[in-house]
Chains A and B, each alone.
Chain A
Amino acid sequence: DQQVKQNSPSLSVQEGRISILNCDYTNSMFDYFLWYKKYPAEGPTFLISISSIKDKNEDGRFTVFLNKSAKHLSLHIVPSQPGDSAVYFCAAEDGGSQGNLIFGKGTKLSVKP
C-alpha cells in the first residue's frame, strides 16, 4: 500500500502563475518531508524540506506547507518559470525506523511561456 501518494501525474501552468503540487501520506510516524525535482537524464535534486514540528517552510520562490491533521503537504512555486518544468517527487521519512525515505510516484510539471 502506498504510504506517500501524489495523485496528479501531471500539471500544466502558465508562466508567472502559481504552481501547486500536492502530496498525501498515510503513516503518522513520518516526521520529515522533502521535495525533489528531476530533469530528464539527471538524478533527483533536493529542493526543500520541512520538519513535522513546522507547518511552513519557505526558500525563495518555493514554499512547502504541511497539514499534519490532514496528512497532506503541498509545494507552491511562485512565480512559475519555464525552467521549473520537471518531475517533482514528494518524499517522507519515518522517524521511528531506519530513517529511509519513501517516495511518491511524482508529478510532471509543465510551465508554458
Chain B
Amino acid sequence: NAGVTQTPKFQVLKTGQSMTLQCAQDMNHNSMYWYRQDPGMGLRLIYYSASEGTTDKGEVPNGYNVSRLNKREFSLRLESAAPSQTSVYFCASRLRGAYKSPLHFGNGTRLTVT
C-alpha cells in the first residue's frame, strides 16, 4: 500500500520557470492538501480540495495553482517560480466524514529556485 506518492522528490528551477508537482493517493480519501514547510515556520497550508471537484485557498496560496484531476490526484503548479518558493512541499490526504481522522502525508518534494 503506497499511501501518498509525490513526484518529483527533488527539483531545481530558475526564477520564472514553471513546473507541476504531482500527488496521488491510493487510500480512497476524499480530501487532499498541499503544505509547504520552511525552517522555523512549521507546515503552512497552500491549497486544499475538500472533495473531488472543489479546491480552496489555504494560508499561503499566492503564486500557486492547483488541479484536482480526479479522486486520487491533486497537483500543484508554480507558473513563474520565485526564490521565495524554495521550500519542501508536502501533499496530504484524509477521509473526511462523520468522524475526525488524521492527515496522511507523502514524503515531500524539495524545491530550490535560483
Binding site for B on A (CB under 8 A): 9, 31-32, 34, 36, 41-46, 49, 51, 89, 91, 93, 98-101, 103-106
Contact = CB atoms under 8 A, between A and B. Distances in A.
Given A42-B107, A45-B105, 17 more contacts: A31-B100, A32-B100, A34-B102, A36-B105, A42-B108, A43-B106, A44-B90, A46-B103, A49-B100, A49-B102, A89-B43, A91-B43, A93-B100, A100-B33, A100-B48, A105-B42, A106-B42
The A interface is mostly helix, strand or loop, or mixed, namely strand
B82 to A, nearest CB: 23
Contacts of A9: 40
Contacts of B92: 43
Which of B40, B41, B96, B103 is most buried by chain A, counting CB atoms within 10 A of its CB? Answer: B103
Contacts of A51: 100
A32 B98 CA distance: 13
Contacts of B43: 44, 89, 91, 103
Contacts, number: 53
Contacts of B90: 43-44
B105 A44 contact: yes
Interface in B83-114: 90, 92, 96, 100, 102-108
Interface residues of B, number: 24
A98 B107 contact: no
B61 interface: no
Interface in B14-61: 33, 35, 40-45, 48, 50, 56, 58
Interface string B47-77: 0101000001010000000000000000000
